[in-house]
Amino acid sequence: MERPAPLNGYLKGNAVSTTPQHGARSRYDAEIRSTLQNIAQNSITTSLSQRFQEDTDRAARYSADVGPLFVDYSKQHIDKDILATLCTLARDTGVPEQFAALRAGAHLNNTEDRATNYPSLRRWAVDGKSSDHAINEMYSSMAKLVAAVHSGELTGATGKAFTDVVNIGIGGSDFGPRLVCDALANQGDGILNAHFAANIDPSVITEILATVPAETTLFIVASKSFGTQETRSNANAARAWLSSTLNCKNVDQHFVAVTSKPSAAKNFGIKEELILCTPEWVGGRFSLWSSFGLAVALCFGMDNFRAILQGGHAIDLHVEHTPLEDNVPVILGLLDVWYRNAWGISSQAVLPYEHHLKLLPIYLQQLFMESAGKSVSRDGEVLKYGTGGVIWGTEGTNGQHSFHQLLHQGSDTIPCDFIASLRSYNPVGEQHQNLIANCFSQSLVLMQGQSAADIKQTLINNGTGPEEATQLAQHKAMLGNRPSTTILMRQLDASALGALIALYEYRLFTASFVWGINPFDQWGVELGKQISQTLMGALSGDDVSSLDSSTAQLIARYQEAQKT
């Protein structure tokens, strides 16, 4: 049986002096870590298959309906004692209090002094109003703009109704609406056609502009800061293209902005009445819930946008009112801590068996890796334990013909999330049933594996000689005991998607609060942005003598290539 890596630094202790948790963390260091350590060492002696044999209720015990989702985590290395210890850990590190603080609008994003009250955005969709004026303002301007576009009140420069929307934004100003528009396209054509331009690579905007009709295309310039180089460059390119294609200087009504910096959008040339303001505290990677979902509302209607928020709200209710021991997003977050810090696992695969969730792994990459890619505590203390790991994956069954070999027989254990919808919008013969069969069989095989002895016997029974059978069996043997969670939805719709995204957010918050990090900031991306400005100058001929010889050499190659 596979052994987890030795318990690492988290369990060696590191007091994090965050106010309400300080004492708890000391207790954690003193007492709970040894319990966790013991449980981890014991848990390796019980395989997942054994756990199922010993507990016939296991599947029901470790699964639950959560809003429109069904989550089965029974194929995880979990039992009563592990769960109890992990929940104690959550309590001792103040997870419930931090969820309450989040809902109360506390500034949990301490390095930027910002609130993180995402549930309040989702609640608006249920109540139809918010106690926060800025939230009401944001959604009512959004709804007005959407109605004006759909009714033809707002048209392009030549008076024709819009048919296409290009969302120009990057990172959190792109991944969310892009994921949702792709997911909802499952249900048929949208009201408007959606396009997304993120990368500064000129091929991206060039290729989009080559396909959209100039007269009837609306551009959303989506940027919280309105200072992002990629977004401003792509927006400038779109504006220049539109002016020259329509042979008209005033193309203002083709550009709307979504931003927390309305004055910067205005300076950029966006008309004041076409600027949607988002409260400053809404973080980029959590901004799908806000007016940054404009592309979704334009292409699939305000009702679908609200349904996403309502799906997320169902998870808010679950998290708020369910004891930790049954609180599914919390348990998933605690499992992430468990694997990261007790098993030494730093990779997690997300495997949607639903073509229209193919962008989910990319979305979750930003959500988890920009949030939990931290190595200091909220108070800036260097942590001695591992935090966020690598999130990756692709749609099934494509991945089965690519990296699943490593999931099954590679030297590392990689926990997997399988996500599937039980009904297809595009049924063709038995294809969807086949897809689901593949999905369920992958998690089964990861868990059960197959021993060399069984394989050898089968080979011998089928006529292979004993020596060859022994040899071949070594290669064919599958260790099994590899954990996974399966998340099912009846059919992929806006509500299920909203619930899925909120589930992952709470999972991330849970792990982050246990680790004592701030999941809401992203200082690590700033330096790269600054240096790229310096290198813009160097590529144009500025002095490179202060640069390292590798970078100077690469710059020289670029300059040389421009000459021919």
Nearest CB to ligand F6P, comparing residues 195 and 224: 224
Pairing of strands 164-168, 217-222: parallel
Nearest CB to ligand F6P, comparing residues 186 and 260: 260
Nearest CB to ligand F6P, comparing residues 231 and 327: 231
Residues that bind ligand F6P (CB under 6 A): 170-173, 223-225, 228, 231, 284-285, 370, 522, 525
Closest separation between CB of residue 172 and ligand F6P, Å? 3
Nearest CB to ligand F6P, comparing residues 172 and 293: 172
Name the residue among 56, 72, 157 with its Cα closest to residue 418. Answer: 72
Q: What b/e readout covers 158-168, taking b as 16+ CB neighbours within 10 angstroms?
A: eeebbebbbbb
Closest separation between CB of residue 170 and ligand F6P, Å? 5
Q: What is the rounded distance in angstroms from the CA atom of residue 359 to the CA atom of residue 367?
A: 13
The helix-helix angle for 494-515 and 118-127 (nearest 10°) equals: 150
Helices (H) and strands (E) in the chain, counts: 25, 11
Looking at the chain, how many residues does it have?
A: 564
Nearest CB to ligand F6P, comparing residues 377 and 522: 522
Contact assessment for residue 38 and residue 95, using Cβ atoms and an 8 Å cutoff: no
Write down the catalytic residue from 80, 129, 271, 529. Answer: 529
Residue 129 CB coordination number (10 Å): 12
End-to-end CA distance of the chain: 60
Give CA separation, 108 vs 38, 118, 125, 516, 527, in Å: 33, 12, 23, 11, 24
Closest separation between CB of residue 73 and ligand F6P, Å? 29
Which tokens go with 83?
A: 């769960």
Write down the catalytic residue from 230, 354, 370, 505. Answer: 370
Closest separation between CB of residue 171 and ligand F6P, Å? 3
Closest separation between CB of residue 257 and ligand F6P, Å? 11
Nearest CB to ligand F6P, comparing residues 501 and 544: 501
What letter represents residue 391's amino acid?
I
Residue 374 annotated to the active site: no
Which residue minimizes CB distance to ligand F6P? 284
* Chain CA centroid to CA 1, Å: 32
Closest separation between CB of residue 221 and ligand F6P, Å? 9
Q: What is the rounded distance in angstroms from the CA atom of residue 552 to the CA atom of residue 529?
A: 18
Residue 529 annotated to the active site: yes
Pairing of strands 69-72, 63-66: antiparallel
Closest separation between CB of residue 173 and ligand F6P, Å? 4
Nearest CB to ligand F6P, comparing residues 224 and 254: 224
DSSP 174-188: THHHHHHHHHHGGGS
Tokens 């926990």 locate to: 415
Closest separation between CB of residue 387 and ligand F6P, Å? 18
DSSP 307-333: HHHHHHHHHHHHHHHS-GGG-HHHHHH
Which tokens go with 386?
A: 């591992």
Nearest CB to ligand F6P, comparing residues 69 and 367: 367
Q: What is the rounded distance in angstroms from the CA atom of residue 62 to the CA atom of residue 69?
A: 14
Closest separation between CB of residue 223 and ligand F6P, Å? 3
Q: What is the rounded distance in angstroms from the CA atom of residue 18 to the CA atom of residue 7?
A: 24
Closest separation between CB of residue 230 and ligand F6P, Å? 8
Helix (H, G, I), strand (E, B) or coil at 100: helix
Contact assessment for residue 92 and residue 32, using Cβ atoms and an 8 Å cutoff: yes
Report, in angstroms and rounded to the nearest whole number, the Rg of the chain calculated over CA atoms.
Answer: 26
Nearest CB to ligand F6P, comparing residues 220 and 334: 220
Residue 154 CB coordination number (10 Å): 20
Name the residue among 503, 506, 510, 396 with its Cα closest to residue 71. Answer: 503
Write down the catalytic residue from 133, 321, 401, 563. Answer: 401
Question: Which residues lie closer than 8 Å to 42 by C-beta, 6 or more apart?
Answer: none
Residue 505 annotated to the active site: no
Sheet of 347-353: strands edge to edge?
63-66, 69-72, 484-489, 416-421, 347-353, 390-392
Handedness of CA 297, 301, 306, 312 (dihedral sign): negative
Closest separation between CB of residue 370 and ligand F6P, Å? 6
* Chain CA centroid to CA 417, Å: 13
Nearest CB to ligand F6P, comparing residues 118 and 385: 118
Nearest CB to ligand F6P, comparing residues 319 and 372: 372
> Catalytic positions, please?
370, 401, 529
